[in-house]
Amino acid sequence: MITRRRFLIMAGSTFAGIALTASQAEKVLATFQSPVIKDKERIRWGMVIDLKKFNELPEWKRKEVYDICKKVHNVPVFPNPKDRVEWIWPIKFEQAFPEQHHEFLEEVVEDLEIPVLCNHCNNPPCTKVCPTNATWKREDGIVMMDYHRCIGCRYCMAACPYGMRSFNWRDPRPYIKELNPDFPTRTKGVVEKCTLCVERLEKGMQPACVKASEGTFIFGDLNSLESEVSKILREHYAIRRKPDLGTEPKLYYLI
Amino acid sequence: MIEQVFRGGRLYWSWITFLVILIAIGGAAYYHQYQTGLTITGMSKEVSWGLYIANFTFLVGVAASAVIVVLPAYIYDYKKFKNITTIGEFLGASAVIMCILFIMVDLGRPDRVLNLVLNPRPNSVMFYDFIVLFGYLLLNIVIAWNVLSAKEKGKGYSTWLKILIFIAIPWAISIHTVTAFLYGGLVGRAFWNTALMAPRFLAGAFASGPSLLILSSLVLRKFTRFDPGLDAIRKIAEIATFAMITNLFMIGVELFTTYYAQHPLHLEHFNYLYFGIEEGGHVYNRLVPWIWTSLALGIIAVLMLIYPKVRREPRYLATASVLIFTSVWIDKGMGLIVPGYIPSQVGTVVEYWPSLPESLIALGVWAVGILVFTLLAKVGIAVILETSEPEPEEPEIVEEEAVEVEEEVVEEEKEYVCELCDAVFKNLDECCSHAEKEHKISKAACDMACAEVEE
């Protein structure tokens, strides 16, 4: 039997409960809403590499482009090549563009040194496979890495069609030539890759490799009609790596 | 029930000691890997998954199929499978434990494994793989334990247990399908990116799981007084045969599609696996002898098993099961994972071979699985023996005796009854010749008439 007294207690506690959950829910919902940054949504960072101009640079200048990245980001250099960690490095034309390669290819093109780095795909296959959200695509199009959340399953390395991700097979710290105290070092057992120098972009600077490239790397907002990158891409024929996979790289190459 | 683990004969304890030693060696090797990093393995920037993930992939299949062939016994109360079901479930549970361990030893930061629960990404296949694997482990333990308890108390299964058994069947298929999607869903890996991945996985699993089930049943039959039932073993041999035929067929389909269409991106991986690749004057062909061995073993096993007389003879059946198990272990393990990475994403060839510590760790994980199975089987068998034939002596003494005189009790003949006229015979041969004479049923098909006498 439900007495009057009991009914009142029950009704009262139900109302209190609903009110409590409603206020809790509001709080929870509020944490999901990220602060609105107006312009950030419209930016889509991209890069163009002018291969002919880049290859005309003297060798030490080209090497400087790769070395500056290692220096800025504390990228280790391991003695054993199987352990290597790389953010930007040179490969051959037929390695970068196997589908463009044929027997009558101009020698100039065939011998081009192609700098490769993360393509920051618009439709990245690596981020959707990460089980812990340790890698994701930012609103400005940069594919980011959280070294503190990565569990080292290396599923993203299996998913990347370009081989642009590296794993710390051993502790990288003893193998860093010159330590840059402004950038974090990584531990063994996590994946890392090029982040398009987000830490520099936030300060309004260009990525380190772009700065060292003597104008042969052009960096900017692909969404803005006035930016240099979009102008160059409108006026020149540019190619991307493995475009047939639908990953939509934001790194373009001029030949 | 648990006290059974600590009772056993000399053979039992030496077996346990052997496994514990293997586990200790594997543990020491893992400690070395944990301290130094995964650099001690053969894996590299190019080939970033190796022996661990290969074994994981193979064992998911074993886990799924060992259970799925025996679960119908609970639901349809298929009497002949009565005893083998428990073995299947224990195999399933041990295989899942090995799967989880193989993932754990492969992680770069195992200390962060809880991030899978704390920060999950729902569209990652690996996240689902973890969920289904852990769920499957729980299901197996809960079902097997409660089935055993029901047996011990002599009661039937409760409704919730039957519901769990129903859930376990699609779940078993799902763990394997999800693991196949792990590979099939990668656009950048032409070797794996095929819709045939999941069906191929299932076919391979339904061949390797049952063969392991047959093998362990035959071993238990030989070394203990427990008899899983020769009829049940033969039935499962049929399942393994047809699954292996399907598996070989799908490998053929894959090879035709690749070699007739000649798409370079697919071709180069298959070339590496089956023929080796030449680059810069060096031929890279480490996996070639393995994959041809796998194919040959698979074909020999099928040729043996499609002949019913061979399938009925435990000796040949055991041989064929070993062949199938080895064949699928190569084909769905290293033969599946490693060629996906060779040649690399930029067309270079860097080969992979497991290092010594890596192999010791893998061996240790296998030893853990086999130990878990041994202990579970010890408990399970004791309970079944106790309940099925109440004996005046203590069961563990009986088992010790059985172990010591193992060779003498191997061929324990059962009585057979002709189902057409209810005549009882001393063994199967007599019953078969009777069936041939009286009912015109050929000896090859005499299981239509003759059945074991059930107590």
CATH code of the domain in which B111 resides: 1.20.1630.10
Stretch 219-238 of chain A: residues touching chain B, C-beta under 8 Å: none
Residue of B53, B99, B113, B187 to mutate for A, most A C-beta atoms under 10 A: B187
In a domain, B359, yes or no: yes
Nearest CA in chain B to A190: B108
Does the residue B123 lie in any domain? yes
User: B311-344: buried (b, 16+ CB within 10 Å) or exposed (e) per residue?
Assistant: bbebebbbebbbbbbbbbbbbbbbbbbbbbbbbe
A169/B119 CB distance under 8 A: no
Contact of B34 with chain A, judged by CB distance below 8 Å, is answered with no
Q: Which are the contacts of B117, defined by CB distance < 8 A and separation ≥ 6? A: none
CB spacing of A130 vs B124 below 8 angstroms: yes
Contacts of B39 in chain A (CB under 8 A): 80, 82-83, 169-170
Write down the mean pLDDT value for chain B: 85
* Euclidean distance between CA atoms B82 and B211, whole angstroms: 18
Confidence of residue B412 (pLDDT cuts 50, 70, 90): very low
The pLDDT value given to residue B226: 83
CA dist B373 and B91 (Å) reads 6
Confidence of residue B86 (pLDDT cuts 50, 70, 90): confident
Asked if B427 reaches chain A (Cβ–Cβ under 8 Å), the answer is no
* A90 touches B at CB < 8 Å: no
Q: State whether A246 and B187 contact (CB < 8 Å).
A: yes
**Same domain (yes/no): B289, B374:** yes
Q: Is the Cβ–Cβ distance between A214 and A104 less than 8 Å?
A: no
Label residue A211 by pLDDT band (50, 70, 90).
Answer: very high
User: Does residue B229 contact residue B73 with C-beta atoms inside 8 Å?
Assistant: no
Q: How far is B112 from chain A (nearest CA, A)?
A: 6
How far apart (Å, rounded) are the C-alpha atoms in residues B186 and A143? 18
CA distance B382 to B147: 14
Cβ–Cβ below 8 Å for B37 and A247: no
Give the mutation candidate from B115, B116, B266, B350 for the A interface (greatest A CB count, under 10 A): B115
Domain count across chain B: 2
Determine the residue of chain A that is closest to B352 in CA distance: A82
Alpha-carbon distance A98 to nearest alpha carbon in chain B (angstroms):
8
Give yes or no for residue B69 having a pLDDT over 90.
no
Asked if A158 lies within 8 A of B46 by C-beta distance, the reply is: no
Q: How far apart are CA A163 and CA B347, in angstroms?
A: 10
Q: Which of B45, B108, B119 sits opposite A188 (nearest CB)?
A: B108
Whether residue B441 sits in one domain with residue B343: no
Task: Give percent of chain B above pLDDT 90.
Answer: 50
Which residue out of A132, A157, A168, A175 would a mutagenesis test of the B interface target, given it has the greatest number of B Cβ atoms within 10 Å?
Answer: A132
**Do B444 and B369 fall within a single domain?**
no
Task: Determine if residue B215 is left, alpha or beta; phi over 0 gives left, psi from -120 to 50 gives alpha, anything else beta.
Answer: alpha
- For residue A8, pLDDT beyond 50: yes
- CB distance A160–B188 less than 8 Å? yes
Residues of A in contact with B181 (CB under 8 A): none
Domain that holds residue B426: 414-455
**pLDDT, greater one: B112 or B443:** B112
Residue B85 forms part of a structural domain = yes
For the segment A72-101, the average pLDDT, to the nearest whole number, is 93
CB–CB contact B126 A170 (8 Å): no
Give the whole-angstrom CA distance, residue B31 versus residue B361.
10
Q: What mean pLDDT comes out for the span A17-28?
A: 54
SS3 string, chain B, reads CHHHHHCCCHHHHHHHHHHHHHHHHHHHHHHHHHHHCHHHCCCCCCCCCCHHHHHHHHHHHHHHHHHHCCCHHHHHCCHHHCCHHHHHHHHHHHHHHHHHHHHHHHCCCHHHCCHHHHCCCCCCHHHHHHHHHHHHHHHHHHHHHHHHHHHHHCCCCCHHHHHHHHHHHHHHHHHHHHHHHHHHCCCCCCCCCCCCHHHHHHHHHHHHHHHHHHHHHHHHHHHCCCCCCHHHHHHHHHHHHHHHHHHHHHHHHHHHHHHHHCCHHHHHHHHHHHCCEEECCEEECCCHHHHHHHHHHHHHHHHHHCCHHHHHCHHHHHHHHHHHHHHHHHHCCHHHHHHHHCCCCCCCCCCCCCCHHHHHHHHHHHHHHHHHHHHHHHHHHHHHHHHHCCCCCCHHHHHHHHHHCHHHHCCCCCCEEECCCCCEECCHHHHHHHHHHHHCCCHHHHHHCEEECCC
- Supply the CATH classification number for the domain A44-254: 3.30.70.20
> Which chain A residues in 124-163 lie under 8 Å from chain B, judged by CB atoms?
125, 128-134, 149-155, 157-163
Classify residue B396: in a domain, yes or no: no
Residues of B in contact with A168 (CB under 8 A): 37, 108
Asked if B193 reaches chain A (Cβ–Cβ under 8 Å), the answer is: no
Residue B166 lies in a domain: yes
Chain A residues whose CB is inside 8 A of the B341 CB are: 158
Q: Which of residues 292-351 of B touch A (CB under 8 A)?
A: 340-341, 344-348, 350
What is the distance in angstroms between the Cα of A196 and the nearest Cα belonging to chain B? Answer: 21
B126 touches chain A (CB under 8 A): yes
For chain A positions 11-70, those within 8 Å of chain B (CB to CB) are none
| Contact criterion met (CB < 8 Å) for A132 and B119 | yes
> pLDDT tens for residues B107-142?
999 999 999 888 888 889 988 888 888 899 888 888
Using an 8 Å CB-CB cutoff, list chain B residues near A95.
346-348
* Domain match, B364 and B236 both: yes
Q: With bands split at pLDDT 50, 70 and 90, how would you rate the model's confidence at A6? A: low
Q: What is the pLDDT of residues A32-53, one digit of tens each?
A: 444 444 454 589 999 999 999 9
Within 8 A of A153 by CB-CB distance, chain B residues are 103, 106-108, 126
Task: Note whether B427 and B286 are same-domain residues.
Answer: no
Mean pLDDT of B442-455: 69
Per-chain mean pLDDT for chain A: 87
Of B373, B377, B381, B69, residue with least CA distance to B209 = B69
Collect contacts of B128-134 with beta carbons under 8 A, ≥24 apart.
B128/B178, B129/B175, B129/B178, B129/B179, B129/B182, B130/A131, B130/B103, B132/B171, B132/B174, B132/B175, B132/B178, B133/B60, B133/B96, B133/B99, B133/B100, B133/B175, B134/B100
A131–B39: do the CB atoms touch at under 8 Å?
Answer: no
Same domain, B6 and B126: yes
Question: What pLDDT score was predicted for residue A245?
Answer: 94
Predicted ipTM? 0.81
Q: Are A189 and B49 an interchain contact pair (Cβ–Cβ within 8 Å)?
A: no
Ramachandran region, residue B105 (left: φ > 0; alpha: ψ -120 to 50; beta: rest): alpha
Tell me: do B91 and B230 sit in the same domain: yes
A-chain residues within 8 Å CB-CB of B37? 168-171, 188-189
Please indicate if any CB of chain B lies within 8 Å of the CB of A243: no
- Residues of chain B above pLDDT 70, percent: 91
Look at residue B157 in the predicted model and tell me its pLDDT. 78
Per-residue pLDDT band for B167 (boundaries 50, 70, 90) equals confident
pLDDT tens profile B304-360: 999 888 888 888 999 999 999 999 999 999 999 999 999 999 989 999 999 999 999
Specify whether B331 is located in the same domain as B425. Answer: no
Partners of B54 on chain A (C-beta within 8 Å) are: none
pLDDT reported for residue B389 = 55
Do B418 and B347 fall into the same domain?
Answer: no
B306 and B445 co-located in one domain? no
Which of B350, B370, B388 marks a domain boundary? Answer: B388
Of A189-193, A234-238, B451-455, the range with the lowest mean pLDDT is: B451-455
From the CB of residue A178, how many other CB atoms can be counted at a distance below 10 Å?
A: 7
Is A158 close to B119, i.e. CB distance below 8 A?
no
- Please give the single-letter amino acid code of residue B394: E
